[in-house]
Amino acid sequence: MALDPNAVPGLLRALDNEDVYVRITAAEALGKIGNPVAIGRLFDTFSDDRPDVRRRVVKALERIGVEPKARAAALVVPGLAGALRDPDVSVRWEAESALRRINTSAARAVLEEWRAAE
């Protein structure tokens, strides 16, 4: 079943819900819809105190970044670069994996810089 792009505004609001599962589901749905409009709000969600939410945000950004119709790879790379510094190792791992999958010159440069700093 395809997700309705008209759901994006409600899903963006759901990223602030007190229920962690609502936030996770909203991030996943935004990634599946693939609308670049969600990118900025997904970046804001990296401040969520739950690593499982932040991991889903990384996956959502990855999906948007690799969606050919969205043409948003360059837009998601800065947020994923920030996620490489997340305090949770699983979020950092997901961000590294997402950048490798996006595989643009910008994503590769971020990974090289991050590895050099490690």
CATH code, domain carrying 12? 1.25.10.10
Nearest to 61 by CA among 45, 88, 79: 79
Q: In whole angstroms, what is the distance from residue 70 CA to residue 68 CA?
A: 5
Q: In whole angstroms, what is the distance from residue 89 CA to residue 48 CA?
A: 15
Q: In whole angstroms, what is the distance from residue 88 CA to residue 76 CA?
A: 20
What's the pLDDT score for residue 13? 97
Report yes or no: 26 and 7 within 8 Å, Cβ to Cβ. no
- Total-model pTM: 0.92
What's the pLDDT score for residue 2? 60
What's the pLDDT score for residue 93? 97
Burial of 83 (0-12, 13-18, 19+ CB in 10 A): buried
Per-residue pLDDT 10s for the chain (118 aa) are: 567 878 999 999 999 999 999 999 999 999 999 999 999 999 999 999 999 999 999 999 999 999 887 789 999 999 999 999 999 999 999 999 999 999 999 999 999 999 999 7
Report yes or no: 44 and 35 within 8 Å, Cβ to Cβ. no
What's the pLDDT score for residue 30? 96
Q: In whole angstroms, what is the distance from residue 12 CA to residue 30 CA?
A: 8
**Containing domain of residue 90, as a range?**
5-117
The total number of structural domains in the chain stands at 1
Torsion from C-alpha of 28, 33, 39, 45, nearest 10 degrees: -20
